[in-house]
Amino acid sequence: MRRSEFLRAVDAEFGARGDALVADLVLTAVGGRTAAQAMDAGVPPRDVWLALCAETDVPEARRYGAGRLDPKSR
C-alpha cells in the first residue's frame, strides 16, 4: 500500500472525519503515534492502515485491499 492508497482508503471508510482521525487519533499499534506521525517516521502505510482499522473497529472484510484503484478495463 502506498501513501496515496492509504489516503483513498481513509476517505472511503471515514469520509469527512478521516483527516481528523489521521491527524489526531493516537494508535498504540504504531508506537503511540498518530497515523500521520507514524508514516512520517517511516512506518509503512499498510501497517498504519491496519492499526487505524483496529483502533476504530473497521470490520476485517473492509481492511484488505482498501485504497487501491480498480483495474482499467481494456
pLDDT on residue 11: 94
Q: Which residues contact 62 (CB under 8 A, 6 or more apart)?
A: 13, 53
- Cβ–Cβ < 8 Å for 50, 71: no
Q: Is the pLDDT of residue 24 over 70?
A: yes
Residue 11: which H helix or E strand, with range?
Answer: helix 3-14
Question: Of the ranges 34-38, 51-55, 56-60, 62-66, which one carries the lowest mean pLDDT score?
Answer: 62-66
Write the CB contacts of 26 (distance below 8 Å, at least 6 apart in sequence).
32, 33, 34
- Every domain of the chain and the residues it spans: 3-62
* pLDDT of 1: 86
